[in-house]
Amino acid sequence: MEEEARKLHEEGIRKKLISPGKGELSSFPNGTKVIFHYRTSKSDGTVLDDSRTMGGHSKPMELILGKKFKLAVWERVVITMRPGEVAEFTCDTKHTMLYPLVSQSLRNISAGKDPLEGQRHCCGIAQIHSHHSLGHKDLDELQASPQPLIFTIELLEVLPPGSYQLDIWAMTDKEKLDLVPQIHEEGNLLYKQGKIKEATEKHGCKICFYFFREHPGDEAWVNLDQMITPLLLNYCQCLLLQNQYYEVIEHCSSLIFKYESNVKAYYKRAKAHAAVWNKAEARADFDKVLQLDPSLGPSVTKELRVLEERIRSKEKEEKGRYKGLFDFNTQPATATTVSPLST
């Protein structure tokens, strides 16, 4: 223990044991999942973040060792801890320079936002020197003036490799590719069973967004993009059944931007446009469907007939609603006036 403390001190990390843990110290091989609560403070005691209260709820941090987490010092300190242990680590500035970016991501997650929202697409060091606001005054100040930080950590659980299911963000490119067919099959089964909400969640799996953001344009990205396009189309079909028309339009438009001949994307977008009374856009998309696949003529004709009937019904309803409001043939009532001279 003293030897470990000496090594940490040489690296610019000072450990203070608050409460000892139980059991033997794990060997922490790469792929080990550690779950812990943390509180981050400045040297003056100002608390920046606390996983027990962030976002109005208590959610511990989950970290997989060996995945090159942006704040490497957390990996360094947890491997000195036993489950149940609580310790305080005072870390020199060289270990904390990227904390503002990490904190921003963690705050975004706690608020249900994209972890990378508000961050520029460049390396962490470049972002530090870009003077780009992180959207939080305390983090902007810390980014402008890096300083030592104190991390109070309670190690809750240590899970060895293979004992847990990987989150998508922690998967390798191959693991993500291998997962797509499974998601597709499970989503289709849920859809056939009439479990639309569950199918929507399955087809809308975040694999689509994590991977797209990380590797746009490279070969692996293109391969995965082509594999998950059917997932997104199925996701849009589920959204149509739940009347989420504008989201369908958004997703189908993004697919069409990449794949101009994707007839299914045009067809689903056309139905969504029709549902929200975008008549011109719906007709244009249905025309494109016919150009790409003339065999869909009967289906398109049926959809256009339904659209025309809805339009006529709506126009008739509106005509009845406003009938008489602008009828100038109606004679206004004649007012009776009394002369002030009459007796």
C-alpha separations of 50 from 18, 47, 156, 225, 274 in Å: 17, 7, 15, 37, 48
φ, ψ (nearest 5 deg) of residue 18 = -100, -45
Encoding tokens for residue 98? 């990227």
Instruction: Decide if 224 contacts 177 (C-beta within 8 A).
Output: yes
Digit-by-digit pLDDT tens for the chain (343 residues) are 678 889 999 999 999 999 999 888 999 999 899 999 999 999 999 999 999 999 888 899 999 998 888 899 999 999 999 999 999 999 999 999 999 999 998 998 887 775 555 554 444 444 444 456 788 999 999 999 999 999 999 999 999 988 877 666 566 666 766 676 777 677 677 777 777 677 666 655 544 544 445 555 566 667 767 777 887 888 888 889 888 899 899 889 988 988 899 999 999 999 999 999 899 999 999 999 999 999 999 999 999 999 999 888 888 887 777 665 655 555 554 544 444 434 3
Spatial separation of the C-alpha atoms in residues 15 and 21, rounded to whole Å: 14
Residue 35's pLDDT is what? 96
pLDDT at 146: 94
CA-wise closest residue to 300 among 265, 271, 277, 275: 271
> Residue written as tokens 């300190």?
77
Q: Closest Cα partner for 266 from 292, 305, 232, 297?
A: 292
- The structural domains of the chain, ordered by start, are 1-115+139-159 (3.10.50.40), 173-318 (1.25.40.10)
Q: What is the value of pTM for the model shown?
A: 0.54
What does the pLDDT read at residue 326?
57
Task: Give the pLDDT score at 252.
Answer: 92
Q: What is the pLDDT of residue 5?
A: 85
Distance of alpha carbon 140 from alpha carbon 23, whole angstroms: 41
What angle (nearest 5°) sits at the alpha carbon of residue 73, between those of residues 164 and 42? 120
